[in-house]
Amino acid sequence: MSLPIAYAAIIFIWATTPLAVKWSAVDAGFIFAVLSRMTIAAVLCQIIIIALRSKWEWHKRALSMYLLSGFNIFFSMLLIYWGALTISSGLIALLFGLMPIITGVFATLILKEKSFTPQKLLGIGIAFSGLMIIFYTSTAGDAQYALATTAVLAAIIWHSFSTVVFKRFASDLPVFSLTTGSIWVSVFFLATFWLITDGKFPATISTLGWSSILYLSTIASVIGFTVYFYILKRIEASKIALIPLITPVMALLLGQYLNGEQPDTRVWAGTFLILSGLSFYQFGSYFTKLLIRISERATH
């Protein structure tokens, strides 16, 4: 696969995943939808491991990482799928756009990375103001909407924290072994939770619902993960950082035209501020250098 095609593919996958999550959760119920998705993904990963004759890591630290990562998938997916029953797919994608900033905060606190330059702090402030506008617009007078939005944001914060922890303790583990083991553990947690809370198969699931589950299992989970790591090893971090700036807008537009979601002007204003803040956070040093060059030329 060429890099431009892989790059376009990951943008498409990340932009369409929130809408597929919403469609699958509405039809199948949020617990059964995520359980079906992860079970199919686990089976596919296992088939790939067998086909490639890859080896699992079975030492104590690897098993600990499977357990922790699997619980991370279980917990964050449940919150996201539950929130998707109420909030729009575009808002889910927009909240996910905050992940680089949240991960950067945890990286500073846990890994002691020096991430907080003045430009990054400015970006965090701008993004936070946009988030507050989104919360005010989306949750005013609607407790359920507020709770659903908070649940998705909590899932993103938890996932960002887990990412930093895994970077510290699991960076040397084989990626596919870690992925497959984590997915199988998440299936165990999800199946247990489903049996305790419900345990019933949905009476009917529409073609759109099943198609969404299959899309999330194959394209969004297995292929999306593989393509992401493919480009991660081959292009600069600055180009990867552009992805969260593109996908929320695409997801908002897809939700509007395919699912009848109608974000008002304040939501778009909040979106603009969040993406502006993320731009400053990722590329603030470039903006500063550009302004310095412009001012120097103006004075000569």
pLDDT-derived band of residue 289, with 50, 70 and 90 as boundaries? low
Print the domain residue range for 196: 3-299
State the pLDDT at residue 202: 84
Please tell me the least confidently modeled range out of 60-74, 236-250, 255-269, 283-297: 283-297
Mean pLDDT of 105-111: 77
Task: Tell me if 63 sits within 8 A of 70, measured CB to CB.
Answer: no
As a whole number of angstroms, the distance between CA 93 and CA 103 comes to: 16
As a whole number of angstroms, the distance between CA 251 and CA 13 comes to: 10
As a whole number of angstroms, the distance between CA 201 and CA 54 comes to: 34
pLDDT-derived band of residue 168, with 50, 70 and 90 as boundaries? low
Mean pLDDT of 149-171: 80
Please tell me the least confidently modeled range out of 154-163, 274-283, 284-293: 284-293
> What's the predicted TM-score (pTM) here?
0.82
Mean pLDDT of 231-252: 72
As a whole number of angstroms, the distance between CA 26 and CA 261 comes to: 15
Please tell me the least confidently modeled range out of 2-11, 145-154, 159-168, 228-237: 228-237
Is the per-residue pLDDT at 122 higher than 60?
yes
As a whole number of angstroms, the distance between CA 78 and CA 34 comes to: 7
Is the per-residue pLDDT at 201 higher than 70?
yes
pLDDT-derived band of residue 129, with 50, 70 and 90 as boundaries? confident
Q: Count up the domains in the chain and report the number.
A: 1
Mean pLDDT of 265-294: 72
State the pLDDT at residue 145: 81
Q: For residue 10, what are the CA distances in angstroms to 90, 182, 215, 263?
A: 17, 21, 14, 24
Is the per-residue pLDDT at 263 higher than 80?
no
Mean pLDDT of 216-220: 90
The 10s digit of each residue's pLDDT in 173-200 is 676 777 788 889 999 999 999 999 988 8
The 10s digit of each residue's pLDDT in 93-105 is 888 888 877 877 8
Closest CA to 96 of 80, 111, 73: 80
Is the per-residue pLDDT at 140 higher than 60?
no
pLDDT-derived band of residue 126, with 50, 70 and 90 as boundaries? confident
Task: Tell me if 118 sits within 8 A of 40, measured CB to CB.
Answer: no
